[in-house]
A and B are shown apart, each in its own frame.
Chain A
Amino acid sequence: MSDRMIARAAVVQPGAARGRALKIATLSFWGGVDPASGRLLDPAVAHCGETLAGRVLLVAEPRGSSSSSAVMLELLHNGHAPAAVVLGRIDAILGLGIVVAREMGWPTIPLYELPAQEHDTIADGAELDIDKGGVICGK
């Protein structure tokens, strides 16, 4: 069975990505993700203990923290970043971590915005392919 289009996200920071969906209802990067390993730390959050590395992270309701950008930059620098992040609404602070990584010449990842209710169309663990226009395809 070939991939089909599941959703179309808005591109906040550019790029294309491929990886397995890791769906979380709400997450603060600061305090919720170990910057050294990319593991999820909050026992109240689904997938606690798993790493974000290489996954397409979908967060329906991002919780802003002014240090989220520091955690994102650290993950991009140490190679534990997700393949892409899809947020229910734009978190500019998280996006700044990606912007600064690009300015430093480090690898970056795309950031997309997809309204929370549309996250329901994507199955947790699904293999996803997102193009640079934000079109999300999967099986």
Chain B
Amino acid sequence: MVQLTVEERAQRDGRDGPPAALAMRVVIEAARMLGAERLVPIESAHIDGCLYHGDSGTLFAEQLVAGQGRVRVPTTLNVGALDLLHGDRARLAPHPAAMARRLMQAYLDLDCRPTWTCAPYQAGHRPSLGAHVAWGESNAVAFCNSVLGARSERYGDYLDICAALAARAPDIGLHRDANRRATLLVDGSGLDPRLLAEDAFYPVLGAWLGATAGSRIAAIDGLPAGLSDDRLKALCAAAASTGAVGLFHIIGVTPEAPDVTTAFAGVPPEETIRLTGALLGAARDRLSTTAAPADAAVDAIAIGSPHLSVAEFQRLLSLLRGRKSRLPFYACTGRHTLDALQTLGLMDTVAAANITVVADTCVVVTPILPAGGGVLLTNSGKFAHYTRPNTGYDVIYGSLSDVAETAAAGHLVRDEALWR
């Protein structure tokens, strides 16, 4: 039985209009099915429901708009199925394109912010430690819980926007202290420091973590202090792709894990796994779906899952050293990054390198990659996981440096030394 406050009952019964009432009823039903005893007020939301999966989602969002529905907390939007800044990027048929556009417009009409990014935490949406929020998009949920220490379950289509309209979420799962304690200790202290210094290590660690931890909460020890947001982002995204990971801790790095004792709330770990180079080498190999001999043909390159930050663009440009890509090269990002690149005067440099910028969406959720398929090189653990099922392309995983060298050469150039 879900206990409701006077305020929640009033909203459910229609005081604030039909969309708010509908949203509250949906949140209450979710709470009942999940076994929650009460709802928890939320401070913000991030909506994944703006990606078109079929007409029903558009009709639902438009019904909320028709009733004058408005979100009651600051709300950002994840990617849509269209690049609204570059109209010809996504090759959707006329009907789905029109419905996808109507869906995106409906969410704007509900007063959500036009962020259109899977990295809202790099677009200024950073809830504080301990704040209850309702976020969708698996990588964003993992970052929100793990890196920011805010509290969100993994909200999906329709519950995300209903939570934003109701300003409430079911008080279950990662909203509650007891469910945030680590039970699995991952000991990285034996790893080669040169590996820990590489960007390409973090998606691999994430992919291993997701496949190993599943829904258990892990705490990783032995990683260097001061990890960048971009490395943490890559780690979160890969972990949330290969497993149902909504939260993990990094001892000495993430806010709920200043030390092992705190991360485990004083309880001994149920299991300890010691990371080795061999374990991670195998995880790295699993990110590729095809053999990757030296000089192998590559048909396209895609990076930016989660969406690229300014720092990642700058690193790419410095690795390219003025060379042009000889392969179709897609860099997925959000408007927050494009605005900053514009300010820095870097957009011309990006264009001159033959890089196709994709905004508001990404290449695994809508048809953008050249038709016909082939082999795609990426440095993203999340792209590595979703590219084959979603696009038919085979995948080779490499570092950003491998990406730059391959782009310039027009065939695969991959530095294997680190992983031997």
Q: Is the CB of B59 within 8 A of A69?
A: no
Q: Is the CB of A99 within 8 A of B30?
A: yes
- Closest CB in chain B relative to A104 CB, distance in Å: 6
Residue total for B at the interface (Cβ-Cβ under 8 A): 27
Q: Which residue of B lies closest to A12 (CB)?
A: B33
Known contacts: A65-B156, A96-B158. The answer to whether A71 contacts B30 by CB under 8 A is no
Q: Is the CB of A92 within 8 A of B30?
A: yes
Interchain CA distance A97-B22 in the complex, whole Å: 14
Query: Cβ of A101: which chain B residues have Cβ within 8 Å of it?
Result: 56
- Closest CB in chain B relative to A79 CB, distance in Å: 11
Query: Cβ of A35: which chain B residues have Cβ within 8 Å of it?
Result: 53-54
Q: Is the CB of A76 within 8 A of B25?
A: no
Interchain CA distance A67-B59 in the complex, whole Å: 16
Q: Is the CB of B156 within 8 A of A95?
A: no
Query: Cβ of B340: which chain A residues have Cβ within 8 Å of it?
Result: none
Is A70 among interface residues, defined by CB-CB distance under 8 A? yes
Is A68 among interface residues, defined by CB-CB distance under 8 A? yes
Is B192 among interface residues, defined by CB-CB distance under 8 A? no
Query: Cβ of B53: which chain A residues have Cβ within 8 Å of it?
Result: 35, 67, 70-71, 74
Query: Cβ of B25: which chain A residues have Cβ within 8 Å of it?
Result: 99, 103
Q: Is the CB of A70 within 8 A of B59?
A: no
Q: Is the CB of B54 within 8 A of A103?
A: no
Known contacts: A66-B136, A99-B29, A99-B30. The answer to whether A77 contacts B157 by CB under 8 A is no
Interchain CA distance A103-B56 in the complex, whole Å: 12
Hey, what's the 0/1 contact readout for A41-79 against B, CB within 8 Å counting as 1? Answer: 000000000000000000000001111111101101110
Is A100 among interface residues, defined by CB-CB distance under 8 A? yes
Prevailing SS type, chain A contact patch? helix
Q: Is the CB of A73 within 8 A of B156?
A: no
Q: Is the CB of B154 within 8 A of A66?
A: yes
Interchain CA distance A98-B136 in the complex, whole Å: 19
- Closest CB in chain B relative to A41 CB, distance in Å: 9
Q: Is the CB of B59 within 8 A of A66?
A: no
Is B116 among interface residues, defined by CB-CB distance under 8 A? no
Q: Which residue of B lies closest to A93 (CB)?
A: B156
Is A36 among interface residues, defined by CB-CB distance under 8 A? yes
From the candidates A31, A77, A100, A106, name the one contacting B158 in the complex (CB within 8 A).
A100
Known contacts: A35-B54, A77-B54, A90-B33. The answer to whether A66 contacts B156 by CB under 8 A is yes
- In the complex, chain A residues 100-139 whose Cβ is within 8 Å of any chain B Cβ: 100-101, 103-104, 106
Query: Cβ of B156: which chain A residues have Cβ within 8 Å of it?
Result: 65-70, 93, 96
- Closest CB in chain A relative to B28 CB, distance in Å: 10
Query: Cβ of B158: which chain A residues have Cβ within 8 Å of it?
Result: 69-70, 73, 96-97, 100
Q: Which residues of A contact B (CB under 8 A)?
A: 12, 31, 35-36, 64-71, 73-74, 76-78, 90, 92-93, 95-97, 99-101, 103-104, 106
20 more contacts with CB within 8 A, not counting A67-B157, A96-B33, are A36-B54, A66-B48, A66-B156, A66-B157, A69-B159, A70-B54, A70-B56, A74-B53, A74-B54, A74-B56, A77-B59, A78-B54, A93-B159, A95-B33, A96-B30, A96-B157, A96-B158, A99-B26, A103-B25, A103-B26
Per CB-CB distance, the 9 closest pairs between chain A and chain B, nearest first, are: A66-B156, A74-B54, A77-B56, A92-B33, A70-B157, A70-B53, A73-B56, A99-B29, A74-B56
Instruction: Please list 16 pairs of residues, one from A and one from B, whose beta carbons are closer than 8 Å in the complex, sorted by A's number.
Output: A31-B389, A66-B48, A67-B53, A68-B156, A69-B157, A70-B57, A70-B157, A73-B57, A73-B60, A93-B156, A93-B159, A95-B29, A96-B33, A101-B56, A103-B26, A104-B63
